[in-house]
Amino acid sequence: MSTITSVRVRFAPSPTGIMHLGNVRAALINYLFAKKNQGTFVLRIEDTDQERNVSAYTQQILDDLEWLGLSYTEGPVLSGPYAPYFQSERDLIYKDFLKILEAKGSVYRCFCTLEDIEKKRQRQIVLKQPPRYDKTCLKLSAAVIATKVALAEPHIWRFNLPDTSIAVHDLARGVIDFDLKNFSDFALTRTNGTFTFMFANFVDDLTMKISHVIRGEDHLTNTAGQAAMYAALDADTPVFWHLPIIVNSEGKKLSKRDFGFSLVDLKEAGFLPEAIDNYLAVIGGSFSSEIGSLSELVATMNFDTMHASGQITYDVEKLRWINHHWIIKISTESLVERVMPFLKAAYPSIDTIALEKITQLITSIKPELRILADSVEKLAFYFNTPVINHEQLEALELVEYRILIHNCIKKSDISLELSDYIKKLQTATQEVGVPVKKFYMLLRLALTGKPDGLSIKDLYAVLGSEEFFARLSEL
């Protein structure tokens, strides 16, 4: 078990796709844990699988982490004492460690073909035995191995798992005992000579002096084999923390089909990075307050009472709620800057509007925004003059009142103060039989095309007197 002197954690994504919520949460928890313990947060890019890796994804990971404010202390670009931080550049280190394990007799060459292994697997299934590699090649004599190597027979290296159990310390679950009899001698290399995730990930954690391995619970079985490698080298095993998986409302593992699974979805809808961090920290966690910035979360986070195991349900409504809080919390300048791309895409004419006016518009709808993209619909009334349609009037049972209000508006005195004007108009319409509720609905329809939304006072302020009365006169 480990004797930790300083906390070193890492986020180790494989650049095989766009960041999704599970990755983001792993990065975030590592970041918070490092901060809480005045530790080091390492970023390592696990790009051993050359066929599936795309360098654009690496850049995307770096950009996303920056956007989320999850700054690392060692890693690509910044470098650090355990560089390189790309697995694709660490081949020599893996080769050295393979030799060390070979010298200790912990690994062996395996010449079995995929077909051989598949046949054995099928037999084990029929015999109701756990499907495991049966260590055939462990029994090969040195002479046979030498001949096969001389003939350049394709082979891989396997780790010879001992017949014992191994204990791992998990922060959320306590001590986990793995019975290694239930595990297969896993591969350290591929037939093309490249190294597997199991091995490279272990060597990197060891050589980068990672004290706590915080990662998804889907890696639990890998942990058993990796702990066996630490033991084989008499090295301290890090403390582990297997994070619960995130599931959708039906209890199924979150997938591409679920809205908000990928960070791109969330960015495009106008979720703020502050809200995403905040949400992913508080789900499955224990905090004195639900709303907090990264530094507040560090201060209030209690790692002793984290969600131990099982699953965490992703609740987009809660994320929206937290996002709304952040929309209210950030400065007006920052909000305007973030809303602008959404408005520009929808209303190119915004370029001709003064920033002061735009700020006023955005401020007026701020209490109604859950996500930034809501601003497009909320401000549609400003950019598109509303047209009242008959079906809408019918549906809202307003047809009979329209003409009554229209007549009163025609006779009204627009030189009055707004509040006096509205009061007078309302009294006049009431006298001719228009209920107050219907009066306001119709006014809003004329001003915005919708029966609800901003107050009349706010509408007057953002539309300006001229536009305000022009729209009313269309009723």
Q: What residues line the site for ligand GLU (CB under 6 A)?
A: 12-14, 46, 201, 215, 219
Q: Which residue from 44, 43, 11 is spatially nearest to 27, judged by alpha carbons?
A: 11
Can you say whether the dihedral through the CA atoms of 230, 231, 235, 241 is positive or negative? positive
Residue among 121 and 219 whose Cβ is closer to ligand GLU? 219
Residue among 255 and 334 whose Cβ is closer to ligand GLU? 255
CB of 100 to ligand GLU, least distance (A): 21
In angstroms, what CA-CA distances link 9 with 212, 295, 304, 412? 5, 18, 17, 71
In angstroms, what CA-CA distances link 158 with 131, 190, 199, 300? 16, 10, 10, 45
CB of 458 to ligand GLU, least distance (A): 48
Distance CA(470)–CA(454), nearest Å, equals 18
CB of 12 to ligand GLU, least distance (A): 4
> Radius of gyration over alpha carbons of the chain, in Å?
32
Residue among 205 and 374 whose Cβ is closer to ligand GLU? 205
Residue among 13 and 273 whose Cβ is closer to ligand GLU? 13
Distance CA(367)–CA(370), nearest Å, equals 8
User: Residue with the closest Cβ to ligand GLU?
Assistant: 215
Residue among 46 and 74 whose Cβ is closer to ligand GLU? 46
CB of 252 to ligand GLU, least distance (A): 19
CB of 240 to ligand GLU, least distance (A): 10
- Two tokens, residue 342: 């959404």
Residue among 12 and 425 whose Cβ is closer to ligand GLU? 12
CB of 262 to ligand GLU, least distance (A): 15
Residue among 178 and 460 whose Cβ is closer to ligand GLU? 178
CB of 53 to ligand GLU, least distance (A): 11
